[in-house]
Structure 1
Amino acid sequence: MIVSASRARGGQRPLHGPPGKLLVGNLFDIPPYHSWLKFKQWGDTYGPLFRLNLVGRQLVVISTEKVANDLLRERGNLYSSREYLPMASGIVSRNMRPLLLPYNDRWRRGRKLMHQLTMPTAADSYQPVQDYESKRMLSSLIDNPRKYDKWFELYASGVVFRIGFGKWIETGEELEVKRIMEVNHNLERVASPGAYLVDSLPFLNMLPEALAPFKLEGRRLHDEELSLFRQLQNDVRRAMEKGSETKSFTRTFIENQDTYQLSDDEGAYVLGTLFEAGSGTTAAAMMSFCLSMCHFPKWQKKMQDELDQQVGSRMPGFRDIPNLPTVRAVIKEVLRWRPVTAGGFPHELTKDDEYDGYHFRKGTIFHPNQWAIHREPTLYPDPDNFRPERWLDPKFPTTYKEPLTKYPNLQNFTCFGFGRRICPGQNIAERSLHILTARIAWACTMRKKRDASGNDLPLPLYDYTKGFNTQPEHFDFDLVARSPERYEAVKKALVEAKANREP
C-alpha cells in the first residue's frame, strides 16, 4: 500500500511517487547526501509534484518554479511554517533559531528585526564594509590562490561580523570567529535530512538522556552556541556603555529591544542566524564561480572585455554595477547552475489545502528542490550547461528582461528560497556577489591547472561537499593578476581602504 500526502476523494487525483516499503515507506530510498539529485530523477519520472512517505511523515517534492511560487509564495499564509525537528529545532536551538521556527509570533517578531536590518536602504549602508573586505580578499587571492576557500570565507564572515557585531576580523584565527564558524558547521550537520533518527521517529525523544546520546550531544551544542551569542551581544553592550558609536545589527537590536519584543536570547539567535545565512552561502557561491570560470573561460573573457570598456584601469566599484550586465549574468548563472542550497529548505502546510486537483493534509512537508527547479527546461533551455547568455539575450524570453542596467539581478531569485521564508540577507548577498565577481574579473585571470606539456588537467564538474549548504570540494587552479599595473592597483587600494576604514 502506498501512503500519499494527498487524499483522492470526490474525484480528486492521487499524488504519485516512488513505491515505499512497509512501515518505513521511502525512508531508506533517499541517499544520505546530495538527495536533490535523486529527487530530480524522481521528479522526471513522477512529475513536478510527487510524494514521499518517511515512516508516516508526508513529504511532497516540488520540481518547478511555477508550482513553488503558486504554493509557497502566493499561498504563503498556509505554506510558511517549518517541520519540527526534535534535534535541530528543539534540543540544539531550544525553539529560538528563526530558520527552524514554525510560522508563529516569535518567528514574526524576529523577522521584523531581520527585515529592518537587511532591507535595500540598510544594505546600501554596509557597502563601505564590503568595499574594504573585497579589496583585502582580492589582495590575498592574488598572492595565494591555493587558499581561495579561506579568503572567501574570511571575506564573508568579515562582512557579517562587522555589520553584525561591530568588530573587524583581522586574521580569521580569532577564537570567537572560529567558534561561530563551528556553530555554522554544526547547524548544517544536525539539520541535514536524515542526520538523526529521532527526526523520523520522534518517540525516541521521550527516552532519558542516558539512553539517548543524541540528547547529550544536542545539549552541549546548544550551550556552546548560546554562550557565544550571549558573549557577542554583551560585548556590544559593554562597548556602548563606554561610549562607542559603532553601528551594528546588535546595537540596533539593543536600542530598540522593546519595539521588537524579543528577549536577549531570542535577539541573540536572530542575529546569529543572520551570520549563518550570510557567511557560508556567499563563500560557497564564490567557490562555484571559480569552478565555472575554469570550465567556461570564454565568459571570463567576456566579463574582462566589459570591465575594460566600462572602467578601464580603475578598479570597479558599486556605482559601476548597473553598467556591468555580463558580470551580473555570470554570477546569477553560477547560482542557477550550482545553487548553494541545492535541495531547498522544507515548508510545512498549516491547514488542509487543494491545488490542481490534489488534496493536501495539514502537516504535509513541501520540499522545493532547487536543483530540479533550476533545471526546468521550459525556463532554462540546455539547463545542465553554463549559459549566462540566457540572462542577456532576447532569444531566451523566459529569462531575459530589460533594461540591462537593472536586469539581470538577484532580487527574489529562487536560489534564495520562496515566499515569506525567502532568505532575509539576499540584499546584502547580492551586493557582495556583484562586487566580488566584478573585482576578481577585473584584476585576475584564472584557469585550470596544466601538466608539463601545457595540457589542461582534469577538473570535475560536480564534486561537492555534503550538507544542506554545499560547495565544491577543494580543487587547485591557476590564478594570476592580469597585469603588474593591476596588481599594484589592488595593493594600493587595500592600503588606502585600511587607512580610511572606521575603527
Structure 2
Amino acid sequence: MFSSVVAVCIACFLAYIFNQRSREQAGDKNGKPIPGPPSLPILGNLCDIPKSHSWFRFKEWTDHYGPIVRFKIGASEHVIIAEEKIANDLLRERGSHYSSRVFLPMAAEYLSGNMRPLFMPYNDLWRTSRKLMHRLTMPSMANSYQPAQSIESARLLHDLLQDPRNYERWLQRYSGGLIFRIVYGKRVQTGEENYLQRAIKVVHNVERIASPGSYLVDVLPFLRYVPYPLAPFKQEGMRLHSEELDLFRSLLDDARKELETPDVLKRPSFAQTFLEEQEAIGLTFDQGAYVLGSLFEAGTGTTAAAMMSFLLTMTLHPQWQEFLWAELDAVVGDRMPDFEDIPRLPRVRAVIKEVLRWRPVTAGGAPHTLTKDDEYNGFKFAAGTTFHPVQWAIHLDPVLYPDPDQFDPSRWLDPSFPTYKRPLDKFPTLQNFSAFGFGRRICPGMNIAERSLYILTARIAWACKISKAKDSQGVIIDVPSYDYTSGFNVMPKNFAFNLSPRSKLHEQVVEERYRYANNLIYLKPKL
C-alpha cells in the first residue's frame, strides 16, 4: 500500500514538472491568447470534463469562448474546433502536420500492442497500414462489394419486418456480416456466431477505453512506470489485448488454412489477399491481423449506430417518411430500390446525411495531434497540441446549419440553405462529410459505409412504416430525442417503436428478395 502511494506521489510530482514545462513551451508567444476555461495545476481541466458525453461540455465551451477553445488535460495541450471551415483548413489542408495521434498508453500500448492504426502516430507503420486499408476500401473496390451489400440488406429488411424489437441484432448482423464476408470470407447466418460476438465485444472495448478521461494513465502517462502488480489498468489492458489478438490471429489463421488446404472451396477475402502478398505489403502477421480487425471496427459499429439513429429519427419525425415515400414511389414504384437508383434518390441521400449531422456517431470527434509548430488566424499552436474536431459542436453551427437543433433534410436540397449543392444526381453526398472525420485520418471504411447507408435507408423507407409504439393500455410510449450511449462511437439506447410493411405487395417483394438472397453466392472482387 505504501509503495503504491509513493508511486502515485512521484507520478504526480513528475506530472507537475512536465505541466509547468508544457505551459512554458505551449504558451501564446507572439500570438493571440487562445480562449478557454481556467485550468488547475497538474490536472488542468480534467475535473471539468465529464467521463461520459464530454461533447456536451465541449459545446458549452465553444458557445462561450468561440470556435477555437484551448484546454488542458494534465500536461497536455488541447484545442477544440467547432467550425467545419477551421477543421478543413487545419486538418485537411495542412494534413501533413495535423495527422498524428496523442499517445494514450491504455488504448494504444496495453490494449492494442501499438498495432491498431486508429491509435498509431503519423509514422511509417501507420502509412503502410493505411495504404493497405485504402487499397481494400477505395471507391472502385467499394463498388465491387455492392452485390454483398444488396444481399445482406435484403436479409436485414426481412428480419426487421419479422421481428423489429430485435433491430439492434439485425443491424449488427448486417454490418458484421458484410465486413466478415469481405474481410475474412466468413458468412454470418444468425448474428449469434461466437467469432462475431467476440469481435463486437472488441469494438465496444475500444470505444469505452478510447473515451476521453477513462483512464488516469492517459492523463498522467508517468503512471506507466507503476509496477504491474500495482497497476490494475495494465492488467486489464493486457488481458483484453491477449483476447483480441487471439481473435484476430485465429480469423487470419482460418484464411491461411483455407489457402493451404487443397481441394477446398476457397472463399476469397481481404485476409487471403494479405497472406498471398504479405511480403510485398510489408507487415508482420500480427500487424496485418490488426489492420484487418480495424476494418471490422471501422465498418460495423458506425453503420449500425447510424441506422439506429435513422430508426429513432423516423419514430420522432414520421412526416419525413412521407417525404421519402413520394420520391421512392415515383422512382422505383413497386420494385425494391437498388444501387443504380441511388443517383435518382436525392431525398434518400439527404435524409441519411441529415441523420448523421443531427445525431453524429462520433460525437466527440477523433483527435489529431500537431507535429510541427503552426499558426492560424493569429493563434500560435505548439507541436504536440491535440485538436478535437467536435462533431456535436460542428454539426450544430447555426451559421452553416440554420436552426441546427431541427431535423431538416431540406437543408441539403433547398437552394436557400448554405449547405445546398448541385447537381442533385450527385449531391447531397457523404463523400468528405465531417461525420467521417477529416484529412488523412478520415474513416478508412467511408466508401463502404456510404453505400451501406444509402441502400439501407432506401430499402427500409421503401418497405416499412415506422411509428411510436403503444403500451398495453394503448398509450403512446414517449421516446427521448437524445438518450445515447457514451464512448468513442455512440448509438441510441434501446427504444420502443412500431415497424410494419407499407403494404402486402411490399411485404411480398421483401420475401421474394430474401429467398433470392439466401441462395446467392458472393462473387470474388478483383484486387
**Fold conserved between structures, TM > 0.5:** yes
Residue 484 of structure 2 contacts residue 491 of structure 2 at CA under 8 Å; is this kept in 1? yes
Q: Does 1:468 align with 2:485?
A: no
- Counterpart of 1:86 (choices 105, 108, 121) is 105
Counterpart in the other structure of 1:28: 47
The answer to whether 1:142 aligns with 2:179 is: no
Post-superposition Cα deviations, 1:146-170, rounded to whole Å, max 9, x if no partner, equal 1111111111001001001001001
> Contact 1:5–1:51 (CA<8 Å) still a contact in 2?
no
Q: How far off its partner does 1:359 sit?
A: 1.2
CA offsets 1:167-192 (integer angstroms, 9 cap, x no match) = 10011111111111111111111111
Alpha-carbon distance between aligned partners in 2 of 1:110 and 1:188, rounded to the nearest angstrom? 20
User: Residue 175 of structure 1 aligns with which residue?
Assistant: 194
2:17 is aligned to none
Report if aligned partners of 1:447, 1:478 keep a CA contact under 8 Å in 2.
yes
Superposed displacement of residue 322, structure 1: 0.7
Question: What count of residue pairs does the alignment treat as equivalent?
Answer: 501
Quote the residue 1:241 is aligned against: 260
How many angstroms does 1:9 deviate by? 2.4
Of 372, 383, 388, which aligns to 2:409?
388
**Equivalent pair of 2:170/2:191 in contact (CA under 8 Å):** no
Letter in 2 for 1:477: F
Q: TM-score, normalised on structure 1? A: 0.97
Match for residue 423 of structure 1 among 443, 461, 465? 443
Whether 1:126 and 2:129 are equivalent positions in the alignment is no
Structure 2: unaligned runs, 5 residues or longer = 1-19
1:440 corresponds to:
460
Secondary structure, counterpart of 2:33 in structure 1: coil
2:253 is paired with a residue of what secondary structure?
Answer: helix
Question: Which residues in structure 2 correspond to 1:324-403 (within 5 Å)?
Answer: 324-396=345-417, 398-403=418-423
| 1:478 alignment partner, SS class | strand
Query: One-letter code of the match for 2:423?
Result: P
Question: How far did residue 450 of structure 1 move?
Answer: 3.2
Q: Does 1:40 align with 2:67?
A: no
Distance 1:501 1:457 in 2: 42
2:498 counterpart (478, 483, 489): 478
Q: Which residue of 2 aligns with 1:287?
A: 308
Structure 1 position 5, deviation (Å): 8.3
**Cα drift, residue 464 of structure 1:** 0.3
Given the alignment of the two structures, is residue 266 of structure 1 paired with residue 287 of structure 2, yes or no?
A: yes
Contact 1:352 1:359 in 2 (8 A): yes
The aligned runs of 1:188-199 (5 Å cut-off) are 188-199=207-218
Contact 1:164 1:248 in 2 (8 A): yes
Counterpart residue type for residue 122 of structure 1 = M
Matched, 1:101 2:120: yes
Distance in 2 between the 1:4 and 1:310 partners? 62
**Residue 298 of structure 1, CA deviation:** 1.3
CA distance, structure 2, for counterparts of residue 196 and residue 453 of structure 1: 46
Partner SS state of residue 154, structure 2: helix
For residues 223 and 74 of structure 2, the distance between their equivalents in structure 1, rounded to whole angstroms, comes to 13
1:296 to 317, 320, 336: 317
Q: How large is the RMSD of aligned CA atoms in angstroms?
A: 1.5
CA distance in 1, matches of 2:131, 2:189: 31
Aligned in 2, Cα 1:29/1:478: closer, same or farther, shift over 3 Å? same
Give 1:82 shift.
0.3
Distance in 1, Cα, partners of 2:354 & 2:170 = 22
Check whether the contact 1:285–1:471 (CA below 8 A) recurs between aligned residues: yes
Taking every aligned residue pair, what percent have the same amino acid on both sides?
57
Letter in 2 for 1:471: M
Cα-to-partner distance string for 1:193-235 (whole Å, 9 max, x where unaligned): 1111100111111011111011111111111111111111111
TM-score normalised by length of structure 2: 0.93
CA contact (8 A) 2:248 2:290 kept: yes
Question: Structure 1: any 5+ residue segments left out of the alignment?
Answer: none
Distance 1:453 1:23 in 2: 56
